[in-house]
Copies of this chain bind each other. A is one copy, B any other.
Amino acid sequence: MDLLFLGTSSGTPTRSRNVSGLALTEETGKRWYLVDCGEATQHQLLRTPLSLHDLSAIFITHVHGDHCYGLPGLLASAGMSGRREPLEIMAPQGIKQWVDATLTMSRTHLPFDLVFHATEQLGEWRNSNLRAQAIELSHRVPSYGYCFTEARPDPRLDVEKLDREGVPRGHLWGRLARGHDVEFEGRALRSDDFLIFNRKPRRIVVGGDNDTPELLNEVARSAQVLVHEATYTQEIAERGKADFGHSTACAVASFAESISVPNLVLTHFSARYQANPERSPSIADIHTEASGVYSGRLFLAEDFARYRLGRDGCLERYREPARG
């Protein structure tokens, strides 16, 4: 499971950081998922190996423009590039109606179907490789985090159970092994009930904008990776220079430490934090603050930074950024 950051700035783009967008790629390296779609996410994608044809689903955390204004353009470009596969979009109330209205206003006719799911009523979304659930967070508007869990970690067939239940060897076993539910003698057999998973599934939790990291407690405890905004340092927040509704580096890092999540990736930095560590405030201040309270593997995301979550639960940054 790979993470590729397409935008890591809060509110407005800067010359080196776009607004929010994060690609989660399956281990196969092809099928991928997009979390948030700020303006110019499609432009960022042009500099990565990812194709809009292989995009499986989009997950929007909340309605603020820096998290969704890129949707109509990305959809239109997917259409112009010949996509025909339906595309699923999980999004909070308001997004579906706005996307529809935008496409209508601009007379844009997509050659593929959009299948919207309201984040508020998502329950669990899944396909053969991934399960996703939404967690309500605390922000100025309704905001959600998404918990992505590997659906079938190193599966093998439960042969004893299959024999016990009289399911004959052959194509039924094959289909069950590949994750398909089947029918046998009028009975519905769920693949998951006949698979044994050889390790703990990998799990990545991606927060939306949020001032209370503890709301992710339940899902993040069993995650290997937490990706969370750290818009400000404590100092800026205390000086009253911060918009409300966000987390500080210290708050997120303390929460991550308290639940012992082994990998923490901070993102969504206020544009005031500069790349040059000799200037103040700088991105280095955020790192200093977080590393003071968090003892796990800490990463500060950059645009086009790419990470791999191995089966051992360890997150590694690729040496080469994805940028082409």
From known contacts A65-B73, A98-B101, A101-B98, infer whether A12 and B81 are also in contact, taking CB-CB under 8 Å: yes
The residues of B that contact A15 with a CB separation of less than 8 Å are 46-47
| A39 contact from B73, B95, B98, Cβ within 8 A | B73
Query: Cβ of B77 and Cβ of A108 under 8 Å apart?
Result: no
Most chain B CB atoms below 10 A, which of A47, A69, A72, A95: A69
Q: A39 to B107, Cβ gap below 8 A? A: no
> Which residues of A from 84 to 117 have beta carbons under 8 Å from B?
94-95, 97-98, 101-102, 105-108
Residues in B with CB closer than 8 Å to A97 are 105
Smallest Cβ-Cβ distance to A39: which chain B residue:
B73
- The answer to whether A13 and B39 touch across the interface, beta carbons within 8 angstroms, is no
A54-87: CB near B (< 8 Å → 1, else 0) gives: 0000000001111011101100110011000000
Please tell me the size bucket of the interface on A.
35 or more
- Given contacts A106-B69, A140-B107, A14 and B64 within 8 Å (CB-CB): no
One of B46, B65, B73 near A76 (C-beta < 8 A): B65
Contact A46 B105 (CB under 8 A): no
Assuming the A-B contacts A43-B13, A98-B101, A98-B105, are A73 and B69 also in contact, with contact meaning beta carbons closer than 8 angstroms in the complex? yes
B13 touches A42 (CB 8 A): yes
Q: Is A314 an interface residue (CB 8 A)?
A: no
- A63: B residues at CB distance < 8 A: 105-107
